[in-house]
């Protein structure tokens, strides 16, 4: 019996080491400038604020992921992105699954307060995420996403609310980002 307790004790200790390492890394990343490949990050700090005419967003269809930060709460994550019809879109799948309900908080946060920053190749784009549930562009967006990602974004999935679509629209006026940059 003592031998079994010793083995269980050692096994438990050995399991605690990687778990605590992962938890520590996740907590540490929340204070960093942006996310890494695995963990969400803190506010996007570095980069140049884009100013000028609305870009031709077709270039994002060649980029696998971008960094997206909501201003409320100020956390960032890596996310898929696509252009369709000259417009910029981000989305969240698995919204009706148990994993999605437990894991995905950013879509509800974006729906409540859509102010966001997207960082692409060191440029910061101030955006407003507006959830859309019906739009003629969905057919084109679905084709683009299916070519780009292993995801099957379908109009049926959007209608069932398995997938939430957000248009990343220009954000008018000055923002917290401009204030933050002047504080540096």
Per-residue pLDDT of the chain (184 residues), as tens digits, is 888 877 787 777 667 777 555 555 455 555 566 787 777 788 999 999 999 899 999 999 999 999 999 999 999 999 999 999 999 999 999 999 988 888 889 999 999 999 999 999 999 999 999 999 999 999 999 999 999 998 878 999 999 999 999 999 998 764 444 434 433 3
CATH architecture under which domain 48-182 falls:
Roll (2.30)
pLDDT of residue 176: 45
At 28, list the tokens: 């540490």
At 32, list the tokens: 């960093």
**CA–CA separation, 38 and 36 (whole Å):** 6
pLDDT of residue 151: 81
**CA–CA separation, 91 and 104 (whole Å):** 11
153: buried, middle or exposed (CB in 10 Å: 19+, 13-18, 0-12)?
buried
pLDDT of residue 20: 59
Residue from 155, 166, 160 nearest 109 by CA: 166
User: Taking the domains of the chain in order of start, what are their residue ranges?
Assistant: 48-182
pLDDT of residue 182: 39
Question: If DSSP codes are grouped into helix, strand and coil, which group holds residue 48?
Answer: strand
pLDDT of residue 22: 52
For 72-108, b where at least 16 C-beta lie within 10 A, e where not — what string? Answer: eeebbbbbbbbbbeebbbbbbbebeeeebeeebebbe
At 149, list the tokens: 């990602």
pLDDT of residue 180: 43
Strands (E), the chain: 48-49, 66-70, 75-79, 82-84, 87-92, 115-120, 123-132, 164-170
CA contacts within 13 A on the Cβ side of 73: 10
Question: If DSSP codes are grouped into helix, strand and coil, which group holds residue 6?
Answer: helix
At 43, list the tokens: 């506010």
pTM score, whole prediction: 0.81
Residue from 92, 87, 85, 64 nearest 149 by CA: 64
């Amino acid at each position: 019996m003592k031998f079994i307790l010793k083995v269980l004790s050692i096994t438990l200790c050995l399991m605690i080491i990687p778990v605590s390492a992962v938890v520590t890394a996740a907590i540490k990343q929340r204070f960093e400038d942006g996310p890494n490949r695995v963990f969400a990050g803190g506010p996007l700090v570095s980069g140049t604020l884009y100013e000028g005419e609305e870009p031709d967003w077709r270039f994002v269809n060649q980029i696998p992921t971008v960094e997206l930060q909501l201003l409320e709460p100020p956390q960032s994550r890596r996310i898929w992105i696509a252009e369709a019809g000259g417009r910029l879109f981000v989305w969240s799948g698995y919204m009706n699954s148990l994993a999605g309900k437990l894991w995905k908080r950013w879509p509800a946060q974006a729906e409540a307060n859509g102010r966001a920053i997207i960082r692409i190749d060191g440029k910061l784009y101030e955006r407003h995420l507006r959830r859309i549930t019906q739009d003629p562009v969905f057919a084109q967006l679905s084709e683009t996403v299916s070519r780009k990602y292993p995801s099957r974004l379908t109009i049926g999935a959007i209608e069932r609310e398995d997938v939430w679509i957000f248009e990343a629209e220009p954000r008018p006026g000055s923002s917290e980002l401009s204030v933050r940059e002047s504080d540096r």
